[in-house]
Structure 1
């Protein structure tokens, strides 16, 4: 098993993973320690060996070489190491060989495949029990228990330690992955919140200021195109009035955006009680274009709707009047508001549809998008487009119709 990101050296076109520096240290330390013990004549079995003393160096050297690749091919290393440690039992023995084998068992569990990590502890545990029972039956002496304990110390306990460390690493990796996912979801939520807030601010800015700027554009065009002092003076008066009101609306919006306790408290959100003033302002701005305005308010007297519904309805009427002043042909603009207790609030604005004489302000289409978004946030329905006119009226009209729920159970923000 090759470690991810392991560096390699090249020899004749064959790629060999480079050993980890910790593994190199373990291999060198184990080999030097074993050579020191061998040179001092400190063997693990003394004079009970079947082979001469120099043969203990063979398993020692093999085990040190295996330490170099303990992370790269853990299962293969464990199999070869098992053969080496068994062979060491026929030599005078070296404690360094046994210690390095224990490390190979640990590495096989820690760096091996999940299947290897599951099988090695079970296998070494069964071997430890089998060795203990076998020596008890052969020697019939309590010293067999000590042999079983030593076998477990160099095989079973390193495997269990590897399982514990591996589980901790897996848990840490899982926790880190969950933290990264949580951070990613939080960033997505933050981005969506920013986008939603920007859209809300865009709607408010458009609805609050577009009406005044449209009136300014239309009347300034009229003042420039007509060579009449009285008409120009009247247009300049409308321009001044709308510029002052637009500036006040901008200041109120800036006050809402400021995060300072020293600012004045923001003005309350407009309600349907302000429709009369809104229509009166439209009469002042649209009178020179041949437009008349009529309000038909058929709501139940004294009924109060949730603030998001009233704000949405007010803004829809405001934007519809702005569009009528900018684009409608001469004629009547009718605003109808109806609703009863527990019933949806229906807002309808109709205006003459056709070619318009005189100055007109350009449109961007953002107003219709803003109205659709407001209605969608309240789970209502919205329609806007040309329609057949009423009997005795213009042949075609532009009709804006919004149906807003009463919101008895919930009140989402507009």
Structure 2
């Protein structure tokens, strides 16, 4: 049991000064005025730093030089976790893009094993594909995009405790299949889709509750007569969305527009790849058989198709403040509280309040990461 003191605390709702966060057995046991602390309680002085709930990345393909698709193993997840901590990310969804059935089964087994050993770090697997639309495949391997069959549907539903999120194209999947996935506890997301507005709304009615990398790999609002998938997302009162705020994937004005419409249902995501947190020496990597070049922070194949990003969560938070013009409090919520709510994890994560897991990030004044805590333990 110990206290974190001399810090600017952002609880997720308000800023607190001259307060302390008391941590006991990995959870927050009190948030109280500093003067109320028992004199004998050990404390860690944060020297005026900012203390927030740790960031939650709902779309992480890889980082630190590794890709989950490239090596589906616990060692890869450990590298992703270790690398993510440097950017303030204490929890994430490892993302496996369009793959053969065998790889998907392996990813489920590996994720299950890792989660059993490391609580509140990997929050579940994100399967991005293969049940998407070839017309909006992006960098996903075309040869692996296919319909969802009954054996795999049964497998996916039986592992809803491990598969946190699944991205598919609503126009390529039966509404009853979407409903079954949702009933199994899986957050069904639309993405890599060429759906019309009506097709997207049918999928949302069947159980889709999230939009993967909003604007990217989906039909835009073409004109007043064609709302597209983006229009369907904006016209739905309950759907959450992830957005990549790196200045490359989405124009700043579109980020602002999305925030005005979706508000607390808009989550910062990275869609990061091996390039994130790897340093300038990494100039290329393999993404499911495609060579991706890293140039000026962009990840592009030889045809100029975006292959994920090199974004980190803390860089995304800075971009939300400096490029988009959002208040710091809202940027922090987009990186922590809103993702926790989207995945139904906000009873344990996403803000600083009594009873929640002490997954926290300590930030310097320039919004660089000073330290993180996972399950109440400092990671450095």
Q: TM-score, normalised by structure 1?
A: 0.20
Higher gyration radius (CA): 1
Structure (1/2) with the larger strand percentage: 2
Q: TM-score, normalised by structure 2?
A: 0.22
Per chain length, whose mean CA-contact separation is higher, i.e. which structure has more relative contact order (CA < 8 Å, sep 6+)? 2
